[in-house]
Structure 1
Amino acid sequence: MKNLLLTLFSVLIFLPAIAQNQKSFQPGELWPDNKGIHINAHGGGIMFYEGKYYWFGEHKIEGKMGNRAMVGVHCYSSGDLLNWTEEGIALEVDKDNPDSDITQGCILERPKVIYNAKTGKFVMWFHLELKGMGYAAARTGLAVADKVTGPFTFVRSLNPNAGEWPLNFADELKGKNWPDDLKPWSDEWVQAVKDGMLLKRDFQKGQMARDMTLYVDKDGKAYHIHASEENLTLHISELTDDYLGFTGNYIRVQPTGHNEAPSIFEYNGKYYMITSGCTGWAPNAARLLVSDSVMGEWEYVNNPCVGEDRDLTFHSQSTYILPVEGKTDAFIFMADRWQPQNPIDGRYIWLPIQFDDKGLPVLEWMDSWSMEIFDR
């Protein structure tokens, strides 16, 4: 019976019923590519280049090992965001070298790709955990390519900003020390984290970098945004002009706020970030943060979701916010509905970002929607 069920599931996953004939977004449903196979690009991000969108995400496999990187980063292309062409594996894990940082079986999550017009290089950053270390390494990985679909070449992994203090960290806290016996989650421990206890712990080797995204501002400056300090504090780090390294300029956002899964966009002169709380693979309520600049002071606003299941972000978790080319103030919220017991069955929750009468972003569930919503 178990084998029969697996066979039936495989038939459903690879069912080509609506491949390349998608007329509307259907959040949470199977989403076939041009081969009729459910798109395999989880925790992904999208870049627009020369008239096409390119979707990069984690390639998952069936079963409990599916959240390990057994294949690499998958790439798809589209002209309309609805119908996607499979472009192959943009970055392959190393199946031959057990000493490689991206050896098969490592954890490689949330890949994002941006293009550097000055160098002509496509730059990919991702969250990387070394094989056999669980989530202890908390690194970010870098790969580059000359072609948008790859192949990308792995360059290195690192913990960012080694030996650097955040721009918004008070001088009087840099020399502060704490007793070794603070009880985790006690008031004293939480205050110590706010005051930089974990930041100082990782000062020499570099800071933790887990869930991440990339953002390129209007001036071409790029930023790497990641969950740090044991997922308790977000860091926004400025990248070098070639996007291949860190300048050492970074800020802490919402210390002890327990934010992960960052996604960011700019609207009407304000920068907005949608994040989630930290509850493993289980969904929770999204958080909306706002700032006057990328490296400014970020403040919590509210949960941007409305309606039923708002406190579970419609059973999903944010990964990216996509500006729609050719349309004004049109943004798509991209999220994943994780399936940790069988990761290849993870579904995609894409919803249009709407705005309330105060100009704040709002996410409302829709069973089906089309681009025409942005023409209202």
Structure 2
Amino acid sequence: MRKILTLFLCLLVSHFASRAQSKVNYFTPGQLWPDDKGTHINAHGGGLFYQKGTYYWYGEHKIAGSAGNRAMVGVHCYSSKDLYNWKDEGIALPVSNDTTSDIAKGCILERPKVVFNKKTKKYVMWFHLELLGQGYKAARAGVATSDKPTGPFTFIKSYRPNAGFMPFYPEGTPVEDKVDCANPKNKSEGFFCRDLSGGQMARDMNVFVDDDGKAYHIFSAEENFTLDIAELTDDYTGHTGKFSRVYAGHQTEAPAIFKRNGIYYMIGSGTTGWAPNPARWFSAKSIYGPWTYHGNPCVGAGSELTFGGQSTYVLPVSGKKDAFVFMADKWTPKDAIDGRYLWLPITFKGDDMEINWMDKWDLNVFKK
């Protein structure tokens, strides 16, 4: 009996020692990233939300094989106190078994982002939605809400934003840059005018809450030829009709937006399907623009393909000055569940930015 008890205690000690050793205090971009259960984190195309000392990571739950790029489970949620070690919080928004639902199992549900509305006390999730069996034809924005950051979120609706509304133009916008549906000047304007009555296409997306509490939905529109920056309603669950077109005529997706020293920054990518391409970045003094294109923020070996990844979010690190983490996905379309995460620190030189590759790094690279 003593031998059995001793063996049991040894196994127990070994178990907890193993768990303690599994705690990490650094990032290894592109490597497997185990959660608290030892399973690779399953939150692709995701975004983060910080509240009261805890970070929440939301992303697409993938399954093995190419079919894993369709939503067979829903949106996964994880929580962390330090950004290195993540607790599995389960599925925050499950897809529906009702084939008539907008979020029916097997639909395409991508790039979920969550923000908190201080007025309604609701957590609001936006995502890019493609209806079951329609490929990428629907190009809708979907929205869901919850009383808790970990969910469950309740799906509200999906639609194409800003039906019937013309763009807002920052002061000084040249006449030739304004849409004229009586005489579209290019493909991009033609797509805009085609979709005017039914709402603009909304594919790759992000959500940003400004210092004044106003929230904005940023998404690829016009067959990805333009990024729209659209104001959300006070409860964050709809659009007001005010929006601007950014980098019109150039195909851009994967937008990730943040603000530093009163300047708005945005990182995106070209449109090459699941294959990586050079990242691109923009800056503006107003959320609606005009936005200035600056080229590729990545430097060094592998920068021409964004180190094999594609932007999904830029995270401001709480409690540290000028601390922003570039988050990207390294997609594996033939086995979606194996997709990896590339998190890298952003370096600023004045108002310019750079992203360098690092095999291993921690938050000490940022000043306090």
| Fold equivalence (TM over 0.5) | yes
Check the 8 A contact 1:18/1:36 in 2, yes or no: no
Amino acid at match of 2:283: V
**Residue 273 of structure 1 corresponds to which residue in structure 2?**
266
Which residues of 2 match residues 211-250 of structure 1 at below 5 A? 211-250=204-243
Q: Aligned to 1:341, what secondary structure does the other structure show? A: helix
Pairing 1:360–2:352 present: yes
TM-score normalised according to structure 1 size? 0.89
Matched position secondary structure for 2:334 = coil
1:52 to 51, 54, 69: 54
Instruction: Provide the residue aligned with 1:373 in structure 2.
Output: 365
| Contact 2:130–2:136, Cα closer than 8 Å, also in 1 | yes
Task: After TM superposition, list the pairs within 5 Å mapping 1:137-152 onto structure 2.
Answer: 137-152=138-153
Q: Using the alignment, how far apart are the partners of 1:92 and 1:113 within structure 2? A: 15
CA deviation vs aligned residue, 1:6-26 (integer Å, no higher than 9, x gap): xxxxxxxxxx98985112000
> What does the per-residue CA deviation read over 1:224-281, in whole Å, with 9 as the maximum and x for residues that have no partner?
0000000010000000111010000000001111110000111122111000000000
Deviation at 1:193, TM superposition (A): 2.6
The one-letter code of the counterpart of 2:187 is V
User: What secondary structure does 1:343 align onto?
Assistant: helix
Q: Deviations over 1:177-226 (max 9, x none)?
A: 46xxxxxxxxxxxx4235x2111100011000000000001111100000
Q: Report which stretch shifted further, 58-67 or 259-268.
A: 259-268
Aligned to 1:255, the other structure's residue is in SS state coil
Mapped partners of 1:127, 1:148: distance in 2: 19
Paired position in structure 1 for 2:27: 25
Letter in 2 for 1:351: L
Q: CA RMSD in A?
A: 1.6
How far apart are residue 295 of structure 1 and its match?
1.1
Aligned residue in 2 for 1:164: 165
- Residue pair 1:122, 1:147 contacting (<8 A) in 2 also: yes
Q: 2:303 aligns with which of 310, 314, 320?
A: 310
Please name the residue that 1:298 is paired with: 291
Residue pair 1:115, 1:122 contacting (<8 A) in 2 also: yes
Letter in 2 for 1:60: K
Aligned residues between the structures: 346
**C-alpha distance in structure 1 between counterparts of 2:361 and 2:80, whole Å:** 18
The CA distance in 2 between the partners of 1:107 and 1:221, in whole Å, is: 28
What residue ranges of structure 1 are gaps of 5+ in the alignment? 1-15, 179-190
Note the C-alpha offset of 1:46.
Answer: 0.2
Structure-1 separation of matches of 2:27 and 2:241: 40
Residue aligning to 1:183: none
**Would you say the 8 A contact 2:33–2:41 is kept in 1?**
yes
- Please state how far the C-alpha of 1:160 moved relative to its aligned partner: 0.2
C-alpha distance in structure 2 between counterparts of 1:92 and 1:101, whole Å:
12
2:225 & 2:250 partners in 1: Cα distance? 6
Correspondence for 2:109: 108
Greater Rg, structure 1 or structure 2? 2
Amino acid at match of 1:62: A
> Per the alignment, in what secondary structure is the counterpart of residue 337 of structure 2?
helix
Q: Which residue of 1 aligns with 2:313?
A: 320
**Structure 2 runs not aligned, ≥5 long:** 1-17
Deviation of residue 106 (structure 1)?
Answer: 0.1
Q: Distance in 1 between matches of 2:161 and 2:46?
A: 21
Match of 2:180 in 1: 174
Look up the SS of the partner of 2:351 in the other structure.
Answer: coil
Structure 1 Cα separation of the partners of residues 183 and 341 of structure 2: 45
